[in-house]
Amino acid sequence: DAGITQSPRHKVTETGTPVTLRCHQTENHRYMYWYRQDPGHGLRLIHYSYGVKDTDKGEVSDGYSVSRSKTEDFLLTLESATSSQTSVYFCAIGSRDREGIADFGPGTRLTVT
């Protein structure tokens, strides 16, 4: 299995609090992605990164920010969590020599009450 870990795996937080999810990889892959998955919507891309300090928005980026200060870590931050951000969050990684092939992490289940 690809070396991808996500932390925490489960989190319950209150509306209005900041939350940071971490994705860590040991594959030295250039590309990293954050997706969210909700019933009825499937997986949707939030943000992605194509290198250290190089990030861009995906389909559903409002309310989220990301940072990538080193190759192995990609952080997703909810500045002020809302109930609509209750979801399962998946991190994925990819490399230039495996185009279109992404390896996904185990997911983080976030509940905002």
> Which residues are at the interface with another protein (CB under 8 A)?
30-31, 33, 35, 42-45, 48, 50, 58, 90, 92, 94-96, 98-107
Report, in Å, the least distance between residue 3 CB and another protein: 13
Measured from the CB atom, is 85 or 108 closer to another protein? Answer: 108
At its nearest, how many Å lie between another protein and the CB of residue 15?
Answer: 25
CB of 111 to another protein, least distance (A): 15
Q: In the complex with another protein, which residue's Cβ is closer, 97 or 113? A: 97
Residues in the chain: 113
3-state secondary structure of 58: coil
Distances from the Cα of 36 to the Cα of 80, 89, 112, angstroms: 17, 4, 14
Of 7 and 80, the one with the shorter C-beta distance to another protein is 7
Instruction: Strands of 1-113 (E only): list them.
Output: 4-7, 10-13, 19-25, 31-38, 42-51, 54-57, 64-70, 73-78, 87-94, 102-104, 108-112
